[in-house]
Amino acid sequence: MKKERPFSELIPYLPPDTFEQVVPYFQDHTIHLTLTRDRKSVLGDYRRPHGNIPYHRISINASLNAYSFLITLLHELAHMFVFLKHRDRVMPHGPEWKMQFRDMLVPYIGKNFFPADIEKALSGYLANPKASTCTDTNLYKALYRYSQNKDGWTLLEDLPAGASFVIDTGKVYTLLEKRRTRYRCQEQGSGRMYLFPVIYEVKPLA
């Protein structure tokens, strides 16, 4: 059986002075929050009460920086409130969720909870929140700068044309040219061409 932990253990994961704004959600609702190992394609997850499980369940990657953690937590809490209001009658990231998420994030804007570059990107993102912050290039780049990334790794857009890089599978590529929001790259060895998002994380090779 998992041991219940005090709310105060959330403090190190959140930006300074935001804990008091977040903790009422957990005092007013029965939520089981799980901090997980890093998941590459998922930052957080919400699961509604179901069957013999009468409480809300939220999981968040423990490796996220404080700003990403807060945004992801509010993202998942917004799912909870949409479920409480609409049950399963609306789309997961439909208009109801967008409005709920926006309403929950707006109180954190202009209060110095976020660095200026993140707040600027976040303000643009709030015009039409996406299902994941990873799909908003400007916000992802701003948040990435405050993360403890793997040593020597960076975003593909930071490399010059002609640079060689390796990805997490171990395959090596050469960056050729930018095409809108993606870069055309050639796999070394096979000569095959691939398109990578500008925010793809890579390790430059000397």
Spell out the CATH class of 154-204. Answer: mainly beta
Distance CA 156, CA 199 (A): 6
Residue 67 has pLDDT above 50, yes or no: yes
Q: What are the tens digits of pLDDT across the range 164-204?
A: 999 999 999 999 998 878 999 999 999 999 999 988 999 99
- Binning pLDDT at 50, 70 and 90, where does residue 113 land? very high
Domain boundaries, the chain: 7-144, 154-204
How many angstroms separate the Cα of 174 from the Cα of each of 150, 155, 165, 166, 183?
A: 20, 14, 6, 9, 10
Parallel, antiparallel, or unpaired for β 172-179 and 31-36?
A: unpaired
* Contact indicator for 126, 97 with CB cutoff of 8 Å: no
Parallel, antiparallel, or unpaired for β 164-166 and 154-155?
A: unpaired
Q: What are phi and psi of 115, to 5 degrees?
A: -60, 160
Average pLDDT of the segment spanning 120-141: 88
Instruction: Give the CA count within 13 Å in the CB-facing half-sphere of 180.
Output: 1
Distance CA 39, CA 204 (A): 23
